[in-house]
Chain A
Amino acid sequence: MIIQLKRLAVFLGAALLLVAGSALADDKLKVGFVYFSPIGDTGWTAEHDKGRKIMETNLAGKVEAKVVENVAYGPDALRVIRQLAADGNNLVFTTSFGFMDQTLEVAKLFPKAKFMHLDGYKSDANMATYSLRYYEPSYLAGMVAASMSKTDTLGYVSSFPLPAVLQIINGFTLGAQSVKPGIKVKVIEVNSWYDPGREREATEALYAQGIDVVAHVTDSTAPTLAAEKAGKYIVGFHSDRAKFGPKSQLTAIIPVWGGFYTKVAKSVLDGSWTNAPVWAPMAEGVLDLAAIGSMVPADVASLVMTRAGEIKNGTFHPFQGPIKDQKGVLRVKAGESIPDKDLYGMNWYVEGVEATLPE
């Protein structure tokens, strides 16, 4: 009899837990993440996934994330995004420009779900774009690079001449010139976001020209490895790769997604989400410089940190006039800073960048 009672108690307890569990599950916000590449150790997608994990920790019990990695652009993306929405993911992050049209298409089919698309320019009532102001940390990285260079030219391994990339290279150049007026930046485009072979070859080509500090807007570890091998300096991108370039990585420009993803998920949970485009600055904690390497003198590091503080509190804008373009045309007047809409569509290089833009 007693044994039977015990069994009944256990059964009831389990049933209660189940009921409680399912009640909780109903309250949980399901969040989908769509990545274009495998997650991996370092780089673009790895950083997004770190952010996803932090969001899950911050909002434990309130959110449940689902990740689909290595999704090809086009019909595959459409299928994956639609499946996520159909599975009840009421917030979906698509973390690559190439998912723009498919995200929009699915957003129209699932008006109750919210969609966040990275770096695009299309939105809808339930779809917003989000981007980061990478030019802020790149200005700071330019200061570090110019301080550490013994030459009058820096190098940049670029991907494509898109506005977002031009902002980064221009910011870097202006930062470098703030430390060493007249310093130049040579640019090599590899026509890819991720091609270790070409990234290595381009980095080595710049070093062979006598340049001693190179930065890159591509995603692989290859430039860092090339720098370490050549005994030169590198400014990393997307991930802190100091373990692969202990002697060569001066610093790195890195996104920090955890806080941002937490904030967006919270806004969906409390109903305050809007489709206003997000262009988040360093001040919101979404961007940072990786720890400045020990080879950088302390006075340089402190100068950079002071400037970082000014950028964050809004007293300094990296694109503060006077700024001339490559042809010497005054683009931003003295005493003014560039308006967001001009910055967003940037299609020119600042004076001192040695590269040709397609007409």
Chain B
Amino acid sequence: MLTLELFTAIFIAVMGAGTPLVLAATGELVSERAGVLNLGVEGMMLVGAAVAFAVTAETGSAVAGVAAGMGAGMALSLIFGFLTLTCLANQVATGLALTIFGVGASASIGASYTGAALVVTSAFKIPYLGDVPVFGELLFSLEPLTYLSLLMAVAVWYFLMRSRPGLVLRAVGDAPESAHATGFPVIAIRYLAVLFGGAMAGIAGAYLSVFYTPVWVENMTAGRGWIAVALVVFATWQVPRMLAGAYLFGGVTIVQFHIQSANLGITTQFLSMLPYAATIIVLVIISSNAMKVRLHTPAALAKPFHADD
């Protein structure tokens, strides 16, 4: 029986579960559109989560915490950028190394906070609008970072598909030689894209450790960084599909708990697998047009670029 109250609760939970994926995947999408495959999302998220938790715990300010988490994500992505863009190291190997580094670095940053929890702040509500019955609760009482994630996704879509600088960024990801010949600073643009990816991954981590589950636990991102990377690829580098995939994943994650409590006799292991299976199947089906996939794939993805001039 789906009452309005239950629907509202599920909707809010789904938005919450989808938020870290939207944040991290939006950043990774920009980075990949510029031709840089950064597999270090999980590591950047973890370091962002640890730093954000530590700063929030020390200063009492969630805003300072999120800013610090973002900075930490950017710092890590800068290392990645230096190695792959300046030193022309292999992107896949460097990204994997970044994740391994992030796991260890976040554990040592968070060591003295293990198992600690932040005092819960009262639920956020947009003034006036949040008090409107039904829709007020449904649309205007989500976490601030959930609104930010949606705003960023729309902004990135507009930037990439409707603006001139976005066209340049895509050109850098598709044909860096041509972009370079036309006079665009390929490496600088890729640095900016990588930094943006780091910032978003850092915010995604901060969301997890400061808002979603305000505790610090080693490996608390629990693979969400990898899911974000997978979402970008399965969504064929398109923002609307990425959004759909993130909320589908979040949605199935939440709904399977409700299915469990309804006790329909389905084993929990099967239900735990559902979010992954459903997301992959749906995204593969909507991306089954090979022609269109090629159209949207950044042609120079993961290929190092060196300007010989």
Contacts and interface: CB of A to CB of B under 8 A. Distances in A.
Nearest to A195: B222
Contact of A41 (B114, B257, B258): B114
B268 A191 contact: yes
A116 interface: no
Interface stretch (B185-193, B206-214, B237-245, B289-297): B206-214
Contacts of A355: 260, 263
A225 B10 CA distance: 18
Interface string A71-92: 0000000000000000000000
Given A191-B272, A201-B253, A208 B114 contact: no
Most interface-central of B215, B254, B266 (chain A CB within 10 A): B215
Contacts of B117: 41-42, 221, 224-225, 241, 244
A209 B220 contact: no
Contacts of A37: 218
A38 B219 CA distance: 12
B13 A189 contact: no
Contacts of A345: none
Given A186-B261, A188-B260, A229-B120, A200 B213 contact: yes
**Residue of B107, B264, B272 most packed against chain A (CB within 10 A):** B272
Contacts of B195: none
Given A196-B213, A208-B9, A228-B120, A38 B267 contact: no
A200 B114 contact: no
A40 B260 CA distance: 31
Given A41-B115, A191-B272, A244-B119, A209 B6 contact: yes
B181 interface: no
B111 interface: yes
A203 to B, nearest CB: 9
Contacts of A206: 261
Interface in B39-59: none
Nearest to B265: A356
B116 interface: yes
B114 A39 contact: yes
Interface residues of B, number: 38
B72 interface: no
B263 A186 contact: yes
B63 to A, nearest CB: 19
Contact of B123 (A41, A209, A229): A229
Given A46-B115, A221-B117, A197 B208 contact: yes
B215 A220 contact: yes
A20 B28 CA distance: 64
A188 B13 CA distance: 16
A205 interface: yes
A197 B212 contact: yes
Nearest to B272: A191
Contact of B257 (A188, A194, A241): A188
A224 to B, nearest CB: 8
A208 B13 contact: yes
A222 interface: yes
Interface in A173-189: 186-189
A220 B213 contact: yes
A358 interface: yes
Contacts of A222: 213, 215
A42 B115 contact: yes
Given A197-B208, A358-B267, A205 B261 contact: yes
A281 interface: no
B269 interface: yes
B13 A204 contact: yes
Contact of A221 (B5, B115, B269): B115
B231 interface: no
Contacts of B9: 204, 207-208
B87 to A, nearest CB: 32
A197 B265 contact: no
Contacts of B13: 201, 204-205, 208
Contacts of A220: 213, 215, 217
B74 interface: no
Contacts of B267: 356, 358
B17 interface: yes
Contacts of B264: 356
A202 interface: yes
Given A41-B116, A208-B9, A208-B10, A200 B263 contact: no
Given A200-B212, A356-B267, A209 B258 contact: yes
A354 to B, nearest CB: 5
A118 to B, nearest CB: 19
B115 A202 contact: no
Interface of B: 5-6, 9-10, 13, 17, 107, 111, 114-117, 119-120, 123, 208, 212-215, 217-218, 220, 222, 253-254, 257-258, 260-261, 263-269, 272
Give the top 8 A-B pairs by smallest Cβ distance, nearest first: A40-B115, A208-B9, A40-B114, A196-B213, A205-B257, A41-B115, A189-B268, A38-B114
27 contacts: A41-B115, A42-B115, A70-B218, A155-B261, A186-B263, A187-B260, A188-B260, A189-B260, A196-B213, A200-B212, A200-B213, A201-B254, A204-B9, A205-B254, A205-B260, A205-B261, A209-B258, A210-B6, A220-B217, A221-B117, A221-B215, A225-B215, A229-B120, A354-B261, A355-B263, A356-B263, A356-B265
Given A195-B222, A210-B5, 15 more contacts: A70-B218, A188-B257, A188-B261, A189-B260, A191-B272, A200-B213, A201-B253, A205-B257, A208-B10, A210-B6, A220-B213, A221-B115, A221-B117, A225-B215, A355-B260
